[in-house]
Chain A
Amino acid sequence: MSIRHHLDEATLLSYAAGSMSQGMALVTACHLAMCSACRKRAQHSEAIGGALMETLTPSPISDSALDAVLAAIEAQDEPIQVETVRSKPVRPVDSDVPAPLTDYIGESFDEIEWKRIVPGVYYFDLPCQSGGVSRLLRIAPGKAMLPHTHEGNELTLVLKGSFTDEIGRFAAGDIADLDDQIEHQPLVDSSEDCICLVATDAPLKFTTILGRLMQPMTGF
């Protein structure tokens, strides 16, 4: 797979710092699961956190802390089995759900209870804490997402199919990492349904009357 649209440096840093909404962190982690180039960048962003932590003046810890942790280690049933913990292979992106998303929907898109917005456009909200929107969208070939702007950041990761918008063409693995400067209307150009994972750090604003009417109903 060749991914053409990657994460913004500022997004990676916010992910590494743990300072973005749960939904946005989920989308970021899913792109990272699919993209080795961004994985390497993310490791470097996390190294900023490690170096910063090293610069902190140590805080006094409780006198019994070490004993408490050693006791907790003793109390664990079995010693850690180094050999049995094998790494899961990185799954091919077009086969299924990226690993971080399986905590929310399981291993397949088939079981999702989609809700219809308009014919050909479906959504499913993910139970992410800490504000903003986090949802899956399923859009039929030839259909478009409603045009919208947003006050904050918006991440859209393609999981299946593809779409085209004012910026370019986005296929599986590609991420649109946008901020509030952009109004866009993605149009699905694949022959299969396009499934995207979308997260924002603030509510979306629609720019059409239909969008405004939909807003209270869908939470967009």
Chain B
Amino acid sequence: MEDKENRTPGDDVEKVVAISRDPSASREWTARLAHFAETREKASYIQLFRHFAPKVKAYIIRLGLTEATAEELMQETMLAVWNKAHLYNSSKAAASTWIFTLARNQSIDWMRRQKYPEYELEDWHVGEDEGDAGEQSVLSDRMAEAMKTLPENQAQVIYMSFFEGRSHQEIADRIGIPLGSVKSRIRLAADKLKSVWRVDV
């Protein structure tokens, strides 16, 4: 957490959102994780590891943890991918989304020495209205596109939430705007990003 204070809030929003992505990549990784969950093939796991481990580590460093801690938590996260793969449901989340939640939980558990309250990881097999496998990853790609269209002041609050782990109040204090304004910016941004789910795939 020590280097958090030295960073300008949202200083590299543009760098983050400007990176272009291979539009088919997310679907591929989601299929690969689903395949691994089913078969537990070591070769698939190694491919997943090579792709996601460096992303997971980058995310954890963004939260303000040291390189050594990030390496350790990345390894814990990737171990959890192996151990919890049977809970993965590709109709509910893209691979990147599921692995993101594992990395988030590992990081918070480490920072707080307390388990992050989860809502139903174990219930993912109890299907509500499940979509098609692969649909989530298409939507995830569309959302990455939508991210690029956010006005900078909305991208900034999203970025500060996910990459700096700042609460609404902390964001309000940093930017110097009222709490209510932070929340309405987040609502506007979330609404825009989530609009991909309201369009037919």
Residues of A whose CB lies within 8 Å of any CB of B are 8-10, 12-14, 16-22, 25-26, 28-30, 32-33, 36, 39-62, 65-66, 68-70, 72-73, 76, 79-80, 82, 85, 87-90, 99-100, 103, 128-130, 151-153, 179-181, 201-202
Contact = CB atoms under 8 A, between A and B. Distances in A.
A59 B143 contact: no
A13 B190 CA distance: 8
Contacts of A80: 40, 82-83, 85-86
Given A25-B117, A29-B119, A54 B55 contact: yes
A21 B108 CA distance: 10
A89 B187 CA distance: 32
14 contacts: A8-B187, A17-B104, A17-B165, A22-B117, A29-B118, A47-B93, A50-B96, A50-B98, A53-B96, A53-B100, A56-B62, A62-B71, A87-B123, A201-B168
Contacts of B162: 16-17, 19, 48-49, 52
A59 B61 contact: yes
A10 B114 contact: no
B190 A9 contact: yes
Contacts of B42: 70
A56 B59 contact: yes
Contacts of A50: 93-101, 140
Given A19-B166, A25-B117, A46-B101, A55 B16 contact: yes
Contacts of B56: 53
Interface of B: 16-17, 19, 21, 25-26, 40, 42, 46, 49-50, 53-59, 61-62, 70-71, 74-75, 78-79, 82-83, 85-87, 92-101, 103-105, 107-108, 112-120, 122-126, 128, 136, 139-141, 143-144, 147, 158-159, 161-169, 179-180, 182-184, 186-187, 190-191, 193-194, 197
A15 to B, nearest CB: 9
B117 A100 contact: yes
Nearest to B144: A51
B16 A152 contact: no
A73 B139 contact: no
A90 B179 contact: no
Given A9-B190, A19-B161, A19-B167, A49 B112 contact: no
A69 B78 contact: yes
Q: At the interface, is chain A mostly helix, strand, loop or mixed?
A: helix
Nearest to A49: B100
Contacts of A51: 94, 96-97, 140-141, 143-144, 147
Of the candidates A14, A52, A90, the one having the most CB atoms from chain B within 10 angstroms of its own CB is A52
A53 B168 contact: no
B94 to A, nearest CB: 6
Given A14-B161, A49-B162, A56-B55, A43 B186 contact: no
A56 B167 CA distance: 21
B100 to A, nearest CB: 4
Nearest to B125: A87
B21 A87 contact: no
Contacts of A8: 183, 187
B99 A44 contact: no
A12 B190 contact: yes
A153 B29 CA distance: 37
B160 to A, nearest CB: 8
A47 B97 contact: yes
B180 A179 contact: yes
B97 A18 contact: no
A95 B12 CA distance: 48
A22 B114 contact: yes
B82 to A, nearest CB: 5
